[in-house]
Amino acid sequence: MSIAASQRQMVEEVLTDAAKTAVYTGRKTLSAEVVAAISRVDRHRFVSKELVQLACLNRPLPIGYEQTISQPFIVALMTDLLGVHPGDKVLEVGTGSGYQTAILAEMGMQIYSVEIIDALAKLAAAHLKATGYSRDAHIRTGDGYYGWPEASPFDAIIVTAAASHLPPALIEQLKPGGRLVIPLGVVFQSLMLLEKKEDGSVVTRDVLPVRFVPLTGGH
- The CATH number given to whatever domain includes residue 95 is 3.40.50.150
Please enumerate in sequence order all residues whose Cβ is within 8 A of that of 191, keeping only pairs 6 or more positions apart, or say none.
74, 77, 78, 81, 181, 182, 183, 206, 207, 208, 209, 210
Q: Is residue 25 part of a domain?
A: yes
What does the pLDDT look like over 3-21, one tens digit per residue? 889 999 999 999 999 999 9
Q: Is residue 16 part of a domain?
A: yes
What does the pLDDT look like over 79-89, one tens digit per residue? 999 999 999 99
CA distance 71 to 84: 20
Q: Is residue 216 part of a domain?
A: no
Q: Is residue 28 part of a domain?
A: yes
Q: Is 70 marked active-site? A: yes
Q: Is the pLDDT of residue 219 over 70?
A: no
Stretch (H or E) spanning 165 = none
Q: Is residue 217 part of a domain?
A: no
What does the pLDDT look like over 154-176, one tens digit per residue? 999 999 999 999 999 999 999 99
Burial degree of 153 (CB within 10 A; 0-12, 13-18, 19+) = middle
Q: Is residue 218 part of a domain?
A: no
What is the residue-averaged pLDDT of the chain? 95
Q: Which residue range forms the structural domain that includes residue 25?
A: 3-210
Q: How many domains does the chain have?
A: 1
Percent of the chain with pLDDT over 70: 99
Q: Is residue 137 part of a domain?
A: yes
- Tell me the CA end-to-end span of the chain in Å, nearest whole number: 45
CA distance 134 to 125: 7
Q: Is the pLDDT of residue 218 over 80?
A: no
Q: Is residue 87 part of a domain?
A: yes
Does the predicted TM-score (pTM) go above 0.85? yes
CA distance 20 to 26: 10
Catalytic residue among 6, 70, 113, 134: 70
